[in-house]
């Protein structure tokens, strides 16, 4: 894997996380994860 491929992957991951945070899915996921752990 060369630097260009890694840079492209990092950018797409960052874009995905920004969308994930913007849509509020992080809170839903954390609530789900914490709920699973508490059981």
**pLDDT per position in the chain (39 positions), as tens?**
566 767 778 888 898 888 888 888 888 888 888 887 665
pLDDT at 1: 54
Return the DSSP state at 1: -
Farthest CA pair distance, the chain? 44
pLDDT at 36: 75
pLDDT at 31: 86
pLDDT at 21: 81
Alpha carbon distance 7, 39 (integer Å): 39
User: Vertex 13, ends 7 and 15: CA angle to 5°?
Assistant: 105
Query: How many residues appear in the chain?
Result: 39
């Amino acid at each position: 894997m060369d630097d260009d491929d890694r840079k492209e992957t990092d950018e797409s991951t960052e874009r995905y996380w920004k969308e994930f945070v913007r849509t509020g899915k992080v809170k839903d996921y954390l609530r789900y994860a914490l709920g699973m752990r508490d059981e």
